[in-house]
Structure 1
Amino acid sequence: MLQNNPELKSKIDQLWNKFWSGGISNPLTAIEQITYLLFMKRLDELDQKKQADADWTGDKYVSKFSGSWIPPEYRKQEDAEKYAIAKQTLRWSEFKRMQAEDMLQHVQNKVFPFLKDMNGTESNFTHHMKNAVFIIPKPALLVEAVKTIDEIFEIMERDSQEKGQAFQDIQGDVYEMLLSEIASAGKNGQFRTPRHIIKLMAELVRPQLGHRIVDPACGSGGFLLGAYQYVVTQLARRNGAKDLTADEDGFLRTSVAAGLTENTQKILTNTLHGYDIDSTMVRLGLMNLMMHGINEPQIDYKDTLSKSFTEESEYDIVMANPPFTGSIDKGDINENLTLGTTKTELLFVENIYRLLKKGGTACVIVPQGVLFGSGMAFKTLRQMLIERCDLKAVITLPSGVFKPYAGVSTAILLFTKVWNPKEKFSQPATESVWFYEMVADGYSLDDKRNKQDGYGDLQDIIAKYHARNPATDTDRTQKCFCVPRADITAENYDLSLSRYKQDVFEEIEYEAPSVILDKLLKAEIGDTADADLAAIHSGIVRELLELREMIG
């Protein structure tokens, strides 16, 4: 994590301070502007790398910066060609050498419009970038930001070479740090999910190429990126990749799938879907995935709980960390959601169930209150998970996992859809539920979240989940165990681990008080026979003698 790279963290802090002093004090506005610059820089670097690879292998590659570009507003004019701009001048490596005033004008009027338009007028990216604005107001701020971003990329590249960490993962650290600076982080329960928790969840659901995957509250696209990287890694391993090394959390991951065939890349792009109700986060998510090699991400602006969202039984996998708190306008709740509540943490889980195909699997983070809440909607949701789904696992997380955003206690629910909402079923789908109490995630559970030795419980969870056996995992004094459906039904569908875990009390035998007192006296006066003489010199000994006489 970025916290363990003080040099990189210092540069990010410098970047924030430059934007603050330069007049952009809203953190969300600042991160959007910084992301545009990061995107320009990464776009140039990726293009140059692909060109160099093509030159080396003899393959054909058409640079994004070859030829000329005509701004959309001039394209229908007869003399449109006279407005053509050489794409080469729109590269980061070209405009960064300009004088301050010229650079600001060039980026505002040419580079940024090209960025918004580069995927074509029909592109999802172009559609969501339509209202995006480049608002860096001062030439000096742009120059300083460009210089600092160059320095950040130099550090990232050096760390990638020296430490063997994938460049994209370090880039993910930069995003994580940027997101953590948003003052509104945690507003309406929107907490950024740590990357190692996303990787854990991907290992639990094991997405495969061709699976339709969705996050109905995707934010900056972390879960979609996690699923993508898991699939890419599995493909690389099947193709004989042997140079993969475990990261600091024990996960094997490779980065951008440079070796994927065009067809495989197309399948991946078309099967990853995300939705969010914040247009800024949609843009950030689109650029995040594009910088990781997904050229045309399927992220859209939608409220997935509203009446306007009609998708149902569409996806093989749902991975999500939906908003925890707050409520939705009762009049706008999709009529297919039947829980009779306005609590978003409950509605999202029901909606995720509806989004799954029969046989599809969801891995969702929820506040622990969902596991034991006594309200009718809480109980109905848990009953639905037990009866209409195969609720495979409940993994409780320590409360510090989401610090510094919040200390909320959370859990991971892992379930497979067996019965559709209105379908009659002969018997409940869940036979037993596997519980695991995560105590450590490999990081300190305070606001600093420093890396600790080892992987915490991460790798243990993966190994034990995939090897779980309801017939043998019955010892409820252990960290993980299986609970039969009948026991859960008897407890009014309560899914809190503490309801089923049995505490172990160790019986301790203590010596008789007189024996303890004799040992204390011996420690004070040694082996002397004249205890009375010793007592004269020691008030402690005198009091010990009196106490021994009292107890006999």
Structure 2
Amino acid sequence: MARTKKKNGADAAPMTTSQMLGSLLKSARDIMRKDKGLNGDLDRLPLLTWIMFLKFLDDLEQQREEETALSGKKFKAAIEAPYRWRDWAADPQGITGDELLSFINSDEAVRSDGTKGLGLFAYLRSLSSSNGDNRRDVIATVFKGVDNRMKSGYLLRDIINKVGGIHFTSSDELHTLGALYESMLREMRDAAGDSGEFYTPRAVVRFMVEVTDPRLGETVLDPASGTGGFLVEAYNHLEKQVKTVADRKRLQDDSIAGCEPKSLPYLLCQMNLLLHGLDAPQIDPGNALRFKLTEIGEKERVDVILTNPPFGGEEEKGIQGNFPEDRQTAETALLFLQLIMRKLKRQPTLAGRPARAAVVVPNGTLFGDGVCARIKEELLKSFNLHTIVRLPNGVFAPYTPIPTNLLFFDSSGPTKDIWFVEHTIPEGRKHYTKTQPLKYPDFEPCLNWWNRREVNESAWMVPVSEIRDANYNLDQRNPNKKSLVDELAPAEAANRILQSEREILAILEGLVNSMSEGS
């Protein structure tokens, strides 16, 4: 790598791949800020993503074309001329301005070779796998949910030239870009506010994958993929187990699947998986709940499910009708829980282990009655709900203040006992916040406990008979943790309670007086 000269003539230290890529992406985002068609990172990141997506595909195609030529086989291109990156984007002095915008946006346009034909997006949306390349369907689905909001074709050309400096055939650059891309996703989620519902903290994702421990040969599904956090972590976990060419093929073709109906997270999920090494992600762009539950058979079932399904949402009547009459509800989280149970294989996996699931649920799922209780009854009778990890408030800040829990269950038989374990906040901290989030090392006590289970101040076991007698209420209090009142002498506890009551009465009196004065 070339060394640069400082103004005083001294050699500057060469930039690392990380610095170069970080600088390049920052420059591209600075350029986007000048364009009047883009409004914040919610617009900028998708635009940068589809541009990187096309550059990545072209680099991959060129690499595969060379490999195919060496083997003497005929190469089938996913994207053909003149729509490949090398045809219209690679030349820094290539089409720009209104000509570039027209080529990308219009249904019919003058192409880079001077001929008339479909515009870029129109062509990409028309692709199908009729030539035997499944990536064509992926590309078509991605670009059905993409548009170009940039108003200046000259600024767009500048961004394309920046992205042209990324080499997707370099493993160093790919690894670094994957990490940078994840940091950009976090920024976008922060900017999204209420739209950030599909974000699960990386530490939680990693913990769930680690203890569920997917094995090569098992199929992993996230039916609510969002931007692909669980699938990327599962892919990384499985990749460490690859030893042979056959292992690599199995990982690429038969291991990872997802479902994401929203166009923006679908695009981001595809790019996230591509950057981490999955060549043709199998992400279903439809609603995972759209199939009738009773029609999902063994062929559609998987070995491992890792997910944080949306909660607090409401599904339409048509979707609710796919579920048994006595378990129909508008609450999305409860519908997903039923889907997950249905999608788990009943037989042991190829790795000789029971099919298993790790699911994020809100507190309401634990104590809910009615339909919710009936769903939990089915869960405990049909599956082994062996562990519930109770997370403290603030873990999902700032996306939701709702307390959350992690359910771990498998298909080894009905539940007999449930272990509850409270995740404890490290000493010196009161709670997790956006600026002081949960980190993976914070899970160390829970990880140490996982394989050597014993009752302690944070962990306890409840027989399923007690849960059944409590109308399937899983919101169980820790019997080993004393409250502040429990730890005080009776007289001191009584004094504390009286003091609290006096303070409440004083507040109420103040409110009454202010209301009287106002009238």
Do the structures match in fold with TM over 0.5?
A: yes
C-alpha contact 1:207 1:227 (8 A) present in aligned 2? yes
1:485 lines up with 2:464 in the alignment: yes
Counterpart for residue 320 of structure 2: 333
Give the residue type in structure 2 aligned to 1:351.
L
C-alpha contact 1:69 1:87 (8 A) present in aligned 2? no
1:368 lines up with 2:363 in the alignment: yes
Gap change, CA 1:47 and 1:286, over 3 Å in 2: same
* Aligned-residue offset at 1:234: 3.2
Counterpart for residue 129 of structure 1: 142
Q: Choose from 182, 203, 212 the match for 1:196.
A: 203
1:178 lines up with 2:188 in the alignment: yes
Q: Distance in 1 between matches of 2:164 and 2:459?
A: 47
3-state SS in 2 of match to 1:85: coil
1:274 lines up with 2:258 in the alignment: yes
Give the residue type in structure 2 aligned to 1:343.
E
1:433 lines up with 2:428 in the alignment: no
* Aligned-residue offset at 1:449: 4.0
Percent identity for Structure 1 against Structure 2: 24
Gap change, CA 1:129 and 1:46, over 3 Å in 2: closer
C-alpha contact 2:394 2:433 (8 A) present in aligned 1? yes
Q: CA-to-partner distance for each residue in 1:44-69, whole Å, 9 max, x for gaps?
A: 66678x69xx99xxx9599x9x9999
* Aligned-residue offset at 1:370: 0.9
Counterpart for residue 215 of structure 1: 222
Q: CA-to-partner distance for each residue in 1:285-315, whole Å, 9 max, x for gaps?
A: 2232222222221111222223457434411
Q: Distance in 1 between matches of 2:398 and 2:475?
A: 25
C-alpha contact 2:29 2:44 (8 A) present in aligned 1? no
Structure 1 segment 73-472 matched on structure 2, within 5 A: 84-85=81-82, 87=84, 89-90=86-87, 94-98=90-94, 100-101=96-97, 104=101, 120-121=129-130, 123=134, 124-129=137-142, 131-135=144-148, 136-146=150-160, 167-186=177-196, 190-235=197-242, 239=243, 261=245, 264-307=248-291, 310-313=295-298, 314-337=301-324, 338-358=326-346, 359-373=354-368, 375-418=369-412, 429-440=414-425, 445-449=432-436, 455-468=440-453
Q: Which ranges in structure 2 are unaligned for 5 or more consecutive residues?
A: 1-18, 106-110, 113-119, 347-353, 492-519
Aligned-pair RMSD on alpha carbons? 4.3
Gap change, CA 1:133 and 1:321, over 3 Å in 2: closer
Q: CA-to-partner distance for each residue in 1:93-151, whole Å, 9 max, x for gaps?
A: x2345464265566665666776688855523034135255423312331453466579
C-alpha contact 1:440 1:456 (8 A) present in aligned 2? no
Counterpart for residue 473 of structure 2: 494
Gap change, CA 1:170 and 1:15, over 3 Å in 2: closer
Q: Distance in 1 between matches of 2:286 and 2:93?
A: 40
Q: Distance in 2 between matches of 1:97 and 1:461?
A: 56
3-state SS in 2 of match to 1:37: helix
C-alpha contact 2:35 2:151 (8 A) present in aligned 1? no
Q: Distance in 1 between matches of 2:433 and 2:79?
A: 52
Gap change, CA 1:281 and 1:69, over 3 Å in 2: closer
* Aligned-residue offset at 1:431: 1.9
Q: CA-to-partner distance for each residue in 1:500-524, whole Å, 9 max, x for gaps?
A: 45316446799xxxxxxxxxxxxxx
Q: CA-to-partner distance for each residue in 1:167-211, whole Å, 9 max, x for gaps?
A: 53333223332343335524xxx3311222211111111111121
3-state SS in 2 of match to 1:230: helix
* Aligned-residue offset at 1:318: 0.8
3-state SS in 2 of match to 1:457: helix
Q: Which ranges in structure 1 are unaligned for 5 or more consecutive residues?
A: 72-83, 240-259, 420-428, 511-552
Give the paired residue count.
437
C-alpha contact 2:146 2:263 (8 A) present in aligned 1? no
Q: CA-to-partner distance for each residue in 1:333-386, whole Å, 9 max, x for gaps?
A: 24444413221111111111111111321100011111112x212222222222
C-alpha contact 1:372 1:495 (8 A) present in aligned 2? yes
Q: TM-score normalised to the size of structure 2? A: 0.70
Gap change, CA 1:12 and 1:107, over 3 Å in 2: same
3-state SS in 2 of match to 1:296: coil
Structure label with greater radius of gyration: 1
